[in-house]
């Protein structure tokens, strides 16, 4: 009898330990998966570069003299430099594994700094770093192609005296546009959500009487938290998008409508967190201020609110975390077109939607997606730690009186 009980206990204990262990496994698997796939592409170029590679065809301005200059820095062995043109090239592979010739260095006096654009767009083109050269056609000899490598291209460049045209591609696969969009979204959303959220929290905590009206308002706001974000997206699509299209030059989903949608999603979070921090502010502060002759408004805004700032900061950080991670609502309210030129009234993607947009394409770009995921994970982690830190200090300040 006792033995049977012991075995049963042991089984239950093992099951419990196993269950608890599962979350650790999940977290390590996710972190390991994201880090192992994403680290490869993580570098500063990724953040600076455009997502879409652009093809340019350019002509050298004949009036600019040859460079004939020494490079201003030392090169590794596999970099090939042309004194005459002031340009260094290197062999590389693109994301698809094809051989490409990349621009490694351009001398400040090189004619490649000011080329004539033969296509549409600006008149003057600059050959940027990491651009990949597709072909160089000369007046006086056969064309150099990228598939013969950087060394041969430099040799042929040195032999030639006149370039007829140069075809090159700007580096793509960067996430500059999505980062800017995400920053815009964070700024605008907070601009919409914080005043309304803090105002509502102030009313509910400082002014509202305990009556039916207040409890109704409270429960309505609470109901908002249960609505899935995709439904918010539909609302944004149906109300905010047409509204912005009417008052600006936007034609479809845009960043402003996306930010308004996010603001509605975040409202309950901001209200709840702010209210909690207002509750922690001791009543003595309010009485003291009122007794000194300050009006209710002065007490609220000059005494209560400043003392609740850490709580509002927590609300802001929580909101930023949600904005960075939100995807379903933004798919509807902004759209899924990855852009490089960011306009407040135009479509573009936040980092999370960028992942979704690449993953739902065929074939899915898992490498870049995991890299973005790694960035998001890092930001979320930092935000979480800061929230913990702030809350801890805040609670310490007022003791556990609340």
Q: Does 386 bind another protein (CB under 8 A)?
A: no
Task: Please state the closest distance from residue 284 (CB atom) to another protein, in A.
Answer: 21
Query: Tokens standing for 232?
Result: 């918010």
Closest C-alpha among 308, 323, 299 to residue 198: 308
Residues 324, 379: contact at Cβ < 8 Å? yes
Q: Does 288 bind another protein (CB under 8 A)?
A: no
Which of the stretches 69-77, 83-91, 120-128, 361-369 binds another protein when contact is defined by CB under 8 A? 361-369
Which of the stretches 2-10, 52-60, 178-186, 302-310 binds another protein when contact is defined by CB under 8 A? 2-10
Which of the stretches 81-89, 116-124, 284-292, 317-325 binds another protein when contact is defined by CB under 8 A? 317-325
Greatest C-alpha distance within the chain: 101
Which of the stretches 71-79, 88-96, 179-187, 368-376 binds another protein when contact is defined by CB under 8 A? 368-376
Residue 399: C-alpha distances to residues 192, 274, 392 (Å): 33, 18, 10
Query: Tokens standing for 330?
Result: 């933004």
Nearer to another protein, 89 or 351 (CB): 351
Site for another protein in 267-286 (CB under 8 A): 267-268, 271
Q: Does 316 bind another protein (CB under 8 A)?
A: no
Crossing angle of helices 366-397 and 255-280, in 10° steps, is: 30
Task: Please state the closest distance from residue 54 (CB atom) to another protein, in A.
Answer: 24
Site for another protein in 10-39 (CB under 8 A): 12-13, 15-17, 19-20, 22-24, 26-27, 29-30, 33-34, 37
Q: Does 400 bind another protein (CB under 8 A)?
A: no
Cα–Cα distance, 154 to 145 (Å, whole number): 11
Task: Please state the closest distance from residue 325 (CB atom) to another protein, in A.
Answer: 3
Choosing from 133, 320, 331, 338, the residue that interacts with another protein (CB under 8 A) is 331
> 285: buried, middle or exposed (CB in 10 Å: 19+, 13-18, 0-12)?
middle
Choosing from 232, 286, 307, 338, the residue that interacts with another protein (CB under 8 A) is 232
> 367: buried, middle or exposed (CB in 10 Å: 19+, 13-18, 0-12)?
middle
Q: Does 42 bind another protein (CB under 8 A)?
A: no
Closest C-alpha among 332, 360, 340, 178 to residue 254: 332
Task: Please state the closest distance from residue 126 (CB atom) to another protein, in A.
Answer: 36
DSSP string across 77-126: TTEEEETTTTEEEEEEE-TTS-EEEEEEEE-TT-GGGSEEE-SSS-SEE-
Task: Please state the closest distance from residue 338 (CB atom) to another protein, in A.
Answer: 14
Residues 61, 115: contact at Cβ < 8 Å? yes
Q: Does 260 bind another protein (CB under 8 A)?
A: no
In sign, the C-alpha dihedral spanning 287, 293, 299, 302 is negative
Q: Which residue has the tokens 């033969």?
A: 118
Choosing from 194, 264, 320, 342, the residue that interacts with another protein (CB under 8 A) is 264
In terms of phi and psi (left: phi > 0; alpha: psi -120 to 50; beta: otherwise), the region of 286 is alpha
H or E segment at 163?
strand 163-169
Nearer to another protein, 86 or 197 (CB): 197
DSSP string across 47-58: HHS-SS--EEEE
Closest C-alpha among 320, 117, 325, 335 to residue 233: 335
Nearer to another protein, 23 or 77 (CB): 23
| Number of residues binding to another protein, judged by CB under 8 A | 86
Choosing from 115, 127, 179, 355, the residue that interacts with another protein (CB under 8 A) is 355
Nearer to another protein, 170 or 336 (CB): 336
Task: Please state the closest distance from residue 141 (CB atom) to another protein, in A.
Answer: 48
Site for another protein in 172-231 (CB under 8 A): 195-197, 199-200, 202-204, 206-208, 216-217, 220-221, 223-224, 226-231
Cα–Cα distance, 19 to 14 (Å, whole number): 9
Task: Please state the closest distance from residue 139 (CB atom) to another protein, in A.
Answer: 48
């Amino acid at each position: 009898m006792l033995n049977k009980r012991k075995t049963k206990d042991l089984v239950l204990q093992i099951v419990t330990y196993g269950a608890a262990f599962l979350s650790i496994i999940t977290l390590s698997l996710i972190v390991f998966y994201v880090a192992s796939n994403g680290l490869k592409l993580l570098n500063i170029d990724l953040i600076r570069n455009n997502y879409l590679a652009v093809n340019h065809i350019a002509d050298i301005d004949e009036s600019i003299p040859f460079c004939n200059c020494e490079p201003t820095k030392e090169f590794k062995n596999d970099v090939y430099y042309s004194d005459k043109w002031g340009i260094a090239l290197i062999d590389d592979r693109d994301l698809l594994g094809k051989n490409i010739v990349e621009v490694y260095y351009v001398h400040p006096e090189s004619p490649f700094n000011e080329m004539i654009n033969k296509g549409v767009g600006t008149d003057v083109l600059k050959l940027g770093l990491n651009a990949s050269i597709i072909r160089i056609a000369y007046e006086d000899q056969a064309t150099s192609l990228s598939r013969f490598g950087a060394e041969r291209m430099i040799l042929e460049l040195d032999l030639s005296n006149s370039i007829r045209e140069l075809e090159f591609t700007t580096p793509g696969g960067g996430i500059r546009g999505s980062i800017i969009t995400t920053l815009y979204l964070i700024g605008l959303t907070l601009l919409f959500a914080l005043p309304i959220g803090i105002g509502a929290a102030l009313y509910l905590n400082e002014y509202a009487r305990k009556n039916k009206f207040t409890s109704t308002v409270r429960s309505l706001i609470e109901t908002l938290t249960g609505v899935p974000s995709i439904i918010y997206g539909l609302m944004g699509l149906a109300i905010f998008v047409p509204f912005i299209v009417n008052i600006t030059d936007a034609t479809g989903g845009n960043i402003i409508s996306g930010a308004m949608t996010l603001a509605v999603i975040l409202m309950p979070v901001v209200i709840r967190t702010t209210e909690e921090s207002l509750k922690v502010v001791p009543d003595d502060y309010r009485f003291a201020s009122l007794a000194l002759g300050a009006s209710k408004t002065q007490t609220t805004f000059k005494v209560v609110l400043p003392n609740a700032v850490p709580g509002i900061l927590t609300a802001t950080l929580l909101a930023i975390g949600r904005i960075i991670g939100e995807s379903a609502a933004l798919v509807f309210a902004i759209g899924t077109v990855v852009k490089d030129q960011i306009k407040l009234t135009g479509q573009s993607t936040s980092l999370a939607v960028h992942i979704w947009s690449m993953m739902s394409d065929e074939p899915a770009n898992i490498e870049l997606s995991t890299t973005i995921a790694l960035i998001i994970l890092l930001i979320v982690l930092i935000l979480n730690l800061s929230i913990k830190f702030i809350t801890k200090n805040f609670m310490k300040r007022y003791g556990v009186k609340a």
